[in-house]
Amino acid sequence: MQHTKNDNPKLAQLQNRALIVGIAGVIVCVIGAFLAGKAQFFESYLYAFIFWNGLGLGCLSALMLHHMVQGRWGYMIQRMLEAGARTLPVTALLFLPILFLAGPSLFPWMPGGRLADSEIVHEKLQYLNTPFFTVRAFLYYGIWLGLMYVLTNFSRKLDQSGDQRLCLKMRWVSGPGLVLYVITMTFAMTDWGMSLEPEWFSTIYAPLFIVGNGLACLAFSTIILSKVAKDEPHSKVMSTDYFHHLGSLMCGFVVLWSYMSFSQFLITWSGNLPEEIPWYLNRQSPGLNLIAVILILFHFALPMFILMQRRVKRTRGLIIMAFWIFVMRFVDVYWIITPAFHPKEVGLQFLDIAAQVAMGGIWVYFFAAQLRKYPLLPLNDQRMEAALSKTVEHGHQEALEHA
């Protein structure tokens, strides 16, 4: 099967539009920072950072999962996962203002913060201290960037040389890489999310973000795949079977996210301990309760019911659901992060939206730039050739179902 490098005009258009949106968002954020103040700026900045950095990490984890299981679904979006993972150097730079400028404006346990003298914080000083916090951040990104570089470098060498031993090397890296990803994400979200309310703790907090990142990645990859599916080289090999697999994975991740969210609530409710219940009490107000109901209905019940239907996963209904889930990920991250700064009230600010637009435009710009650098399908990968040959056997049936 022949593949040619294809600079898809749709991706070029996406990149140009993202740049315009990102620049406009940055201008609005700069103006908003002067008007709203340092504290509100960094609160909005962190909200945006956690989402878009999480999307890049979701791409990295999905890439490692793909190399481990070698499912047919992964080859159609492999380049998108690699491009998403290659945005991590950008998000690493975007994290520097949080690391060196935010200080107690974000993290109340830091010197000068409102909880710096708290008894519980003093008991955690061996972990919650600024030097160790900084070292951990560099360690997380060192591991993530190392995994990204090794996997994408092997993929590029496979394109050039056709050495099939590289496929096995990518699998060898991906297994331990997934373990390292879970460990580092657990500590990272403890640092950047859970420590916003340092008197509270949960062992399910970080896994919620791990699953959420994967779900956002699958939704985003499905959306991008739908834009290039009718163009070469995808048009020669695409079938509804691949969208079906992605839809099934999204459904599974929706259920897993719901299970973890409910488990955290059930454990906290049944324990009814003073050090645990404040997190949910801070999210109980008419507005925040409404957001919780929206997440239950539109992040769990409705997507699960719709994605369980086979026909939806084989039509444009899947693309609509991918957009829907992607939007719900913004809502979920907002519900988790923002009440730490504005307990018991809906604290959505214009700067929250502006920060998401600015960072999202930057992220998508670099994503599209990376995606345009390389062929849209892997080259010289015999695993993909074997997977596609199995699909061709059912090509006629797939065409009839798609029609």
DSSP assignment of 356-371 equals HHHHHHHHHHHHHHHH
Q: What mean pLDDT is reported for the chain?
A: 92
pLDDT at 211: 98
Phi-psi region of 344 (alpha: psi -120 to 50; beta: other; left: phi over 0): left
Domain count, the chain: 1
Within-domain flag for 2: no
- pLDDT (tens digit per residue) in 266-278: 999 999 988 889 9
- pLDDT (tens digit per residue) in 239-262: 888 899 999 999 999 999 999 999
Neighbour tally for 260: CB within 10 Å: 18
Within-domain flag for 78: yes
Within-domain flag for 3: no
Q: Which helix (H) or strand (E) holds 62?
A: helix 38-69
> Does pTM surpass 0.85?
yes
Within-domain flag for 279: yes
Report the alpha-carbon angle 218-363-23, nearest 5: 145
Within-domain flag for 70: yes
Within-domain flag for 4: no
Domain that holds residue 54: 9-402
Q: pLDDT exceeding 70 applies to what percent of the chain?
A: 95
| Euclidean distance between CA atoms 160 and 114, whole angstroms | 56
Within-domain flag for 1: no
pLDDT at 240: 87
pLDDT of 33 over the 90 cut? yes
Within-domain flag for 137: yes
